[in-house]
Amino acid sequence: MEDIANSSIEQIRLEEIEKQTKLREKREMENKISSLNKAIRGATAQSEKLELEREKLIKVTDALRKQKLLEECRRDTLSAQFNSLKDELKQLRAKSNKMVSEVWEMRSAFCKEIYATSDACDIQTLLMKPGCTKPVYRNVHKQEHNVPTSSESETRLQKAIERRKKSLAERDRLLIEPDAGEEFLRLKNALNYALKKAAH
């Protein structure tokens, strides 16, 4: 009887040990499963976060691509405008050079007319600056048809030479003045006046 009782107790103890072992293994398994589930949830959250970042990067990349296309279009437009302005500047420079040449040709023509007029007549009085002095009236007397003496001819010749020298000096002085100067405009008006008088 005692052996049977001892055998039963040993059997019960072994069963208890086995039960404790199974419970411990079960808890370890549950802990592992819990850890795996936690790791899976973390990985899932990280995957979702990375997916959101990927979509954001795709949007940013698309925006940058569109911005690049816009910048290229703007660059091409500015390049075309620059080339157009460059051509326009070249045309304006050529036109300016042509107009400057025309102005110098006109100045040269005026100077030639001045030479011809100064050689043909006395324009010294027309070149004098206007002042506030009273006008000078001259009494013109009829000249007698007498043959001038040699001294009178010499005096007239000297006066004519002096007037010519003054006209040439005035002409040379006016050549170095700008076209918009007061003397140039007065000379131009005087030349027009002299030409009108010569035409009548």
Structure tokens at 98: 């042509």
Per-residue exposure over 135-152, b if at least 16 CB sit within 10 Å of its own CB, e if not: eeeeeeeeeeeeeeeeee
Q: What is the pLDDT of residue 48?
A: 93
Is residue 168 pLDDT above 70, yes or no? yes
Give 190 or 73, the one with higher predicted confidence: 73
Between CA 100 and CA 191 the distance in angstroms is: 22
Q: What is the pLDDT of residue 113?
A: 81
CA distances from 174 to 106, 138, 152, 182, 189 (A): 15, 29, 33, 10, 14
Q: What is the pLDDT of residue 59?
A: 95
Choose among 83, 110, 102: nearest CA to 181.
110
Rounded mean pLDDT, 168-193 = 67
> pLDDT tens-digit profile of 147-165?
556 677 778 878 888 887 8
Is residue 193 pLDDT above 80, yes or no? no
- What's the pTM value of the predicted model, to 2 decimals? 0.37
> pLDDT tens-digit profile of 4-19?
767 778 788 888 888 8
Structure tokens at 97: 């050079």
